[in-house]
Amino acid sequence: MSQAKKATYELYPLLTQKLVSLERDTIGRDARALSDQAVLQRFARRSPDLTSDHAFYIMAEELHLKNQGSQVIFPDTGMVLDNLLKARFSMETHEGFTLPYRSFLLAMPRGYKFNGLQLPSLLVTWVPGRDFSSDVLAPFLKQLGVVEGKTRYEDLPDMGLLSIVFLDRDAKGARSRSVIYGEDLPHLLGAKNPDQFHSQMVRLGILKDSDAMDAAEAATQFYSMRLVASLGVYHLATEGKHLKPGFPSSQAPRMDGRRSDQPVKPLTLTSKINFDDAADKQAHFRSWHFRQLRDERYYRGEYRDHPQGSRYVFVSEAVIGLDATPNTQVEA
């Protein structure tokens, strides 16, 4: 019996590993005796402006990923991603919103496209702003051998800080990083398309120069943000029951972008809906609809320890008839 063909996923390629490899090439033969950390420290010594560079924050978040357990979320099919990107929900407030982990990679089935756009694998970081310096930046400064007290960063608000990093295919290996504060998330999720998203980024002051982001990057950032936010809402609405340990199948998939020594703790994201059953009923999938429960009565009894605003529920099953008209509902 022939062996089933392995599925292939793309994993965000770590910038730190690329930099270490390039630095080893610069050092030459002597690099063989150096650890990766020693190579990084050498690079930091000859790059005095590194801690204010875009790459510094990305590499700090990559180390945070490792320190948090190297979780990688694999959607079991591209359909799950379609569902999340088409999901309808209204986030009246960012309070209570959270993600499955403070740091994780979202693997992408190779070649997956949405609305004609090929989406990349994502490095996602979600931490309270007040903890960003101590939990994300400080460990990387220590790894670089930089005295933390000599590097100052502005105080960040207590609210959640969402960072999404991906490899920009159109920029020859460059990474794109968007940073969104919790209070801005509902406004950005209100955008219906990449153009509206771009306008909101400018209006909120997240994007200082409207020409600094081209249409392709705006589209990728828009769908990446929607995907991550929908993942968080879906995880809350299903109480984490559809994120399961392990790979999507019994054998590990091919993981493009991953180095052999890169740790991976796999988790599989599954769908709430049985699509085979839906097909039998000659129904079709329209979209998932979530309702945010905000009233205090929803946070009593077994839910008394849940932050207010953290509960989402499905408005109805996502498999509907052809003549159904969905409406997003919010419980005030």
How far is residue 307's CA from residue 263's CA, in Å, rounded to a whole number? Answer: 32
For each successive 10 residues of the chain (332 residues), what is the average pLDDT? 76 94 91 91 86 90 97 95 86 83 97 94 95 93 79 72 90 86 90 93 88 89 95 89 94 92 95 50 58 80 80 60 33 32
Q: What is the pLDDT of residue 270?
A: 92
3-state secondary structure of 254: strand
Q: What is the pLDDT of residue 332?
A: 32
How far are the Cα atoms of 178, 273, 290, 294, 316 from residue 328, in angstroms, in the given order? Answer: 27, 19, 7, 15, 10
Asked, for residue 173, whether it belongs to a domain, the answer is yes
How far is residue 53's CA from residue 220's CA, in Å, rounded to a whole number? Answer: 22
Task: Count structural domains, the chain.
Answer: 1
Asked, for residue 44, whether it belongs to a domain, the answer is no
Asked, for residue 154, whether it belongs to a domain, the answer is yes
Q: What is the pLDDT of residue 273?
A: 56
How far is residue 287's CA from residue 275's CA, in Å, rounded to a whole number? Answer: 13
How far is residue 19's CA from residue 53's CA, in Å, rounded to a whole number? Answer: 14
Asked, for residue 291, whether it belongs to a domain, the answer is no
* Stated pTM of the model: 0.86
Asked, for residue 43, whether it belongs to a domain, the answer is no
Q: What is the pLDDT of residue 316?
A: 52
Asked, for residue 191, whether it belongs to a domain, the answer is yes
Q: Which domain holds residue 146?
A: 8-15+54-272
Asked, for residue 38, whether it belongs to a domain, the answer is no
Asked, for residue 176, whether it belongs to a domain, the answer is yes
Residue 265: name the closest of 251, 240, 247 by CA.
Answer: 247
Helix (H) or strand (E) holding 219: helix 215-237
**DSSP annotation of 14:** P
Q: What is the pLDDT of residue 149?
A: 60
